Amino acid sequence: MFPSSYSLTSLSSASRGSNIAGSSSYSTSIKSAYYTYHVIRPGSILVKGSYSLPGDPLVSVARLINTTARFKKMHPELIIMGSGYSYPQEWLPNIAQHVIRSGKAGFIGIGRMVLYYPEMIADVLAGKTLKRNKICRTCSRCTTASRYRLVSGCYLTDDFYRSRPKYKELTKILQSTI
C-alpha cells in the first residue's frame, strides 16, 4: 500500500531560496506518472499493462491536495500549482475553488481534462453549465495509448480520435489480456 503522505524534505531543500528563471511559481509532483500513475493522476480504470489500483482514487486526490498544501504552508511566498484534479470530474471546479480559497494552492493545473474539453476553464469562469459529455471520465485510454506509442487523446468521447486508424489498434490492446 502507498503512504497517505510523502516527505517534503528534499523538495523543500531544493526550493529553499531558489528562483528558477525568475519564477516564483512551482508545480509539485510526488511520483512518476509512468510507474505509479494512480498517485499523480488518479483514475477509475486500470491502465493497460500496469498494476492493479491499490485503493479508492479519491484517496490519491486527497493525498495530492494535502501534499501540495503542506508544501505551500512551508513556503507561503511561492505560488504552488495543485494537480491531479481530473478524477473528481464535474466536481473539479468546486474542489479547485475550495483549495485556492483556503490557500492550499495558488492555482490549479488542468491536464487530461483539456484533451477533449479545452474550453472548460472559460465555461467555469463564465458561470456556464459544464458540458458533461466532454468531461474526462478518467478511463485511462489516453495513458494506455501513449504507453503503447499511440497518439494520446480522448479515445472515449472525441470523434476525432475515434475516427483514426489507431483507434482500432487501441481497441485491440484494451481487449487483449496482459
| 5: DSSP letter | S
> Domain-by-domain residue ranges, the chain?
23-139
DSSP secondary structure, 10-21, as one string: HHHHHHTT--GG
Sheet order of strands, 25-27 included: 25-27, 79-82, 107-108
d(CA 11, CA 13): 5
- Which pLDDT score, from 0 to 100, does residue 27 have? 67
Which strand (E) or helix (H) includes residue 81?
A: strand 79-82
pLDDT digits (tens, 9 = 90+) for 89-114: 899 999 999 999 999 999 998 887 88
Angle between helices 57-74 and 92-101 (to 10 degrees): 20
pTM of the model: 0.74
pLDDT digits (tens, 9 = 90+) for 32-75: 555 565 666 666 666 666 666 677 888 888 888 998 899 899 88
The residues near 55 (Cβ < 8 Å, ≥ 6 apart) are: 1, 2
3-state DSSP assignment of residue 85 = coil
Residue 80's beta-bridge partner residues?
26
**Residue 82 dihedral angles phi and psi, to the nearest 5°:** -85, 140
